[in-house]
Structure 1
Amino acid sequence: MGILSRASYVVRSKVNALLNRAEDPTETLDYSYERMRDELQEVKQGIADLTTQKKRLEIQKRRLEENVDKHNEQAREAVQQDRDDLARRALEKKKEKMSQIEDIEGQIADLQSTQDDLVEKKNELQRRIDEFRTKKETMKARYEAAEASTRVSEAMSGVGDEMSDVSRALERAEERTDDMEARAAAMDELQESGAFEDALSDEDAIDRQLEAGRTESEVDAELETLKTEMGAGGGEPTDAPADDDVEAELDELRAEEDDEESA
């Protein structure tokens, strides 16, 4: 094989491969079916044309037969009138018309034979078209089912690039959702522990404890002062508060102290 022949073969092979990939079998089947129907229509048209020609010849034959009868009557009448010359002419025309009728009958027979052949071919072509149509629809259904199954399989297995992107996007969404849920749980835990209040305050733990000690010392000093004043007065002053009032005031101070400690 020469270089040019090999190059031509390679080109044809690649072109054929491209056509195979681009070809849609369902479209090819539909196109073939339409071509067969066009051929059937052409055959039917040919049969119709032949039938028309045959009918024309049959009409012409009937007219010639009528002329034959006419010339035959003319010959009889001429003989009755002793006009042999006219009778001879009438018989000559009769013979001429009969010869034409014989030719037309031959043509009609040929057209009938051709018409019969075309009708038989038309019936055979119709049968093949019906058979092809059944196979075409079956093949199209199989191809479409296989194509749909392939698409579903690719989607389920994630073979396609689009499904891979979707899978990666889903993984990223799950990771971000997990992070967000963990962050929300941590915020709730810090809120319950009071860590947010500590973070917003300028005081640390030591400052809060010292402040609590100072408050307690001040309360104790004030209490001692109160006791000293009440003891130095001796007796029971007329305007001194009753023991119940003192106890109530002491209870109120203790309650405030407890509230501060719990805070």
Structure 2
Amino acid sequence: MGIFSRLTDIINSNLNSILDRAEDPEKIIRLVIQEMEDTLVEVRSTAAKTIAEKKESARKLGRLEDAQRNWEEKAELALSKGREDLAKGALVEKAKMAEAAELLKEELEELDAMLAQGEADIAKLESKLREAKAKQQALTARHETASSRLKVRRNLYDGRVDEAFARFEQVEKKLDEAEGEVEAFDLGRGKSLAEEISELAAESAIEDELAALKAKVAAGKAGPKAAPKSADGE
């Protein structure tokens, strides 16, 4: 069953109200768009038939106008030949053509009115269809955003994440224990001969560097002695 029952329902529709009442807005907007597109096809088809009828009626009107001129010429010819009876008959036929032409003119006016209304309906339908498609895009964007946020929230509050962190902590704990065992082996163990000699060499190098630095500082403080001046100032 369609959302709308006639063209005026679509034109006068309030999409916001329809979607607010819907349990499944995305499904409803798809149905609305489909029905609008189907109705637009029907309205355009009707307009195309009306245009064809108008063209046919215009051709008929042209033929009737030609026939009126033709009967008038015949009436003039009959009068010029003294045949008033034939002239009257020709004028009667002309009057028939004129009456038929008037009916066709009225029909053309009705067809013009129908085309104008059809054009207005198409414009309104297209406007409503654009509105519906914009609503659909907005709903799709909202749905995608909500889905992404839901996925993030599920990951944040997923128990598997907590389990993974718990496993990491267990691994770190085991590493701490292994490192503790290595350090425990070094506790209470004396230094090796090579280690002691290495330390002595390092200390000797530092002491030598320190002595050299002291000598340099002392020399800087003493400074060069000034030579005594002569009596003549030279």
State the Cα distance separating 1:28 from its structure 2 match. 4.1
Distance 2:167 2:151 in 1: 25
1:128 paired residue number: 128
Identity %: 21
2:226 paired residue number: none
1:172 matches 2:167:
yes
1:59 matches 2:54:
no
**What aligned pairs does 1:10-159 form with structure 2 within 5 A after superposition?**
23=24, 25-26=25-26, 28-156=28-156, 158=157
Unaligned stretches of 5+ residues in structure 1: 1-18, 195-263
State the Cα distance separating 1:71 from its structure 2 match. 0.9
Secondary structure of residue in 1 paired with 2:82 = coil
Q: TM-score, length-normalised on structure 2?
A: 0.60
- 1:179-217 CA distance string (max 9 Å, x none): 2441354146447878xxxxxxxxxxxxxxxxxxxxxxx
Which residue type is aligned with residue 160 of structure 2? D
Unaligned stretches of 5+ residues in structure 2: 1-21, 190-234
Distance 2:53 2:171 in 1: 86
Which residue type is aligned with residue 173 of structure 2? D
Distance 2:146 2:99 in 1: 69
Q: Larger RCO: Structure 1 or Structure 2 (Cα < 8 Å, ≥ 6 residues apart)?
A: 2
1:183 paired residue number: 178
CA shift in 2, pair 1:105/1:153, >3 Å: same
Distance 2:147 2:26 in 1: 11
Select between 44-53 and 181-190 the one with higher mean Cα deviation.
181-190
Distance 2:99 2:78 in 1: 22
State the Cα distance separating 1:27 from its structure 2 match. 5.2
State the Cα distance separating 1:66 from its structure 2 match. 0.6
Distance 1:57 1:153 in 2: 69
> How many residues are aligned here?
168
State the Cα distance separating 1:85 from its structure 2 match. 4.2
State the Cα distance separating 1:31 from its structure 2 match. 4.3
Check conservation: 2:29, 2:132, Cα contact below 8 A.
no
Distance 1:78 1:69 in 2: 14
Check conservation: 2:44, 2:122, Cα contact below 8 A.
yes
State the Cα distance separating 1:128 from its structure 2 match. 2.4
RMSD (Å) for aligned C-alpha atoms = 2.9
Secondary structure of residue in 1 paired with 2:53 = helix
- 1:85-119 CA distance string (max 9 Å, x none): 43233223212211211221222222222222222
Distance 2:82 2:112 in 1: 45
List, as ranges, runs of 4+ consecutive aligned residues in structure 1 with deviation greater than 6 Å.
Answer: 191-194
Secondary structure of residue in 2 paired with 1:53 = helix
Secondary structure of residue in 1 paired with 2:45 = helix
Decide which structure has greater helix share. 1
Q: TM-score, length-normalised on structure 1?
A: 0.54
Secondary structure of residue in 2 paired with 1:60 = helix
Distance 2:126 2:96 in 1: 44
Distance 2:68 2:177 in 1: 116
